[in-house]
Amino acid sequence: MKTLILMFSLLTIGSSSAWADNLLPYIEMPIESTNLLAFSGQGIEFKECSTCPITKLKPNSKVAFYEHNTPIDIKQATELFVSKKHDTVSIFYNRKTNTYDKVVFGGHIEIEPIQPHPNFQ
């Protein structure tokens, strides 16, 4: 019985990443701003860590850019990318389609309301 439980546990742990990919295709990926390698209207390239492989994403038809909870346009977002003003950047994307629809510089401040973005009104 113990052997059966151990085998089941090992199989479950081994396949958990595949389950996560299928169950959670849309994720928020917080990264250090130094790992955001490329940023433009055509796409984003980043690494989850300094030794991780590069992830390349294309923009969705509508993309929202934020500095904390305040909506910004792509020009302001590009300035934040170049200046590295914030330590973290969160990218919200679909892992199946490799498309992103939201980029947050500095992360959301949870005690303040998030303002609606004009691209989604």
* Better-scored residue on pLDDT, 94 or 13: 94
Q: List C-alpha distances in Å: 63 to 41, 43, 56, 59, 71.
A: 9, 11, 16, 7, 11
Predicted model pTM: 0.76
71, pLDDT greater than 80: yes
Please, which pLDDT band fits residue 59 given cuts at 50, 70 and 90?
Answer: very high
How do residues 76-121 score in pLDDT, each as one tens digit?
A: 999 999 999 999 999 999 999 999 999 999 987 777 777 777 776 6
pLDDT at 110 (0 to 100): 75
pLDDT, greater one: 5 or 26: 26
- Show me where the domains of the chain are located: 27-120
What span, in angstroms and rounded, lies between the C-alpha atoms of 64 and 62? 7
Give the mean pLDDT of 40-57: 94
CATH 3.40.50 fits 27-120, yes or no: no
Mean pLDDT of 17-27: 70
Whole-number Å distance between alpha carbons of 58 and 93: 9
Res 19 pLDDT > 60: no
> Residue 5: CB partners within 8 Å, gap ≥ 6?
none
